[in-house]
Amino acid sequence: MKQPLLVTCLLLLSTAYTFAQDSKSPFKRSTYIKVNPTTLINELDISLEQELSEKMSLEVGVSGVYTDYPDYLLSKKIDIGQKKPDISTEQFVDGRGLGFRAGLRCYLFSSRDGLYRAMGTYFEPVLIYKKVFYPNEAINVNDNNYKRSATKDVYAFQILLGRQITKDKVVFDPFVGLGIRTKVYRYQNFSNNNGMTQSNDGRLVSVLPSIQLGIKIGLKL
């Protein structure tokens, strides 16, 4: 999965460079730094957008995960017939991780179009990768101590539709995102099997559609 993700990112960069080279009108490129406050319940999400032309920009982002409790709610508390990972509540709550994403933003209108009320409207295909590490959890089986461990890899593709509004140096970027998200859980647990300690190495793949509503707030640099 990681190799196709890298190839796709390179294609995005190549396409962005081509569009930037093809821009014939004088254009002052701007850079924006933004944060997504709607994700602060579980992670700090920061993005950097670099304009390439009047109708195209490249956006990259990084997120620091400090709890995976929302995924606990989705995985354990909401039952839609999906398989559930054998990861404890405490591990979900104390999960830590790092995420990366890259998107090629296409603005539908420029100042030359004369549609000032619609300026800033865009669509953006985005690739996302996230890695979450769950803390080891001590467990006693047959008077022996063991440690349960778990990790999660997230691969996602989204199409964002939004409108970026700039007031002087302040940027508001509300959006809606639709896509698909794949989560790969890996975990090792221990259990008592008729007086014998049994090691259970598990792997669970969850593929579900994703819907996201959010807003990014930031500054024009």
Residue range 33-58: mean pLDDT, rounded? 94
Task: Tell me the H-state helices in the chain.
Answer: 2-22, 69-72, 89-93
Q: What percent of the chain has pLDDT over 90?
A: 55
Query: In the predicted model, is pLDDT for residue 8 greater than 80?
Result: no
pLDDT at position 23 is: 47
pLDDT at position 213 is: 94
- Write the pLDDT tens digit of every residue in 35-45: 999 999 999 99
Distance (Å) of CA 5 to CA 56, 73, 108, 195, 196? 21, 28, 26, 45, 43
Q: What is the pTM of this model?
A: 0.80
> Where are the chain's structural domains?
2-220
- Write the pLDDT tens digit of every residue in 121-142: 999 999 999 999 999 988 888 8
- Write the pLDDT tens digit of every residue in 94-121: 999 999 999 999 998 766 655 555 678 9
Residue range 17-46: mean pLDDT, rounded? 79
pLDDT, the chain, mean: 85
- Write the pLDDT tens digit of every residue in 197-221: 777 888 999 998 999 999 999 999 8
Rounded CA separation 176/39 (Å): 14
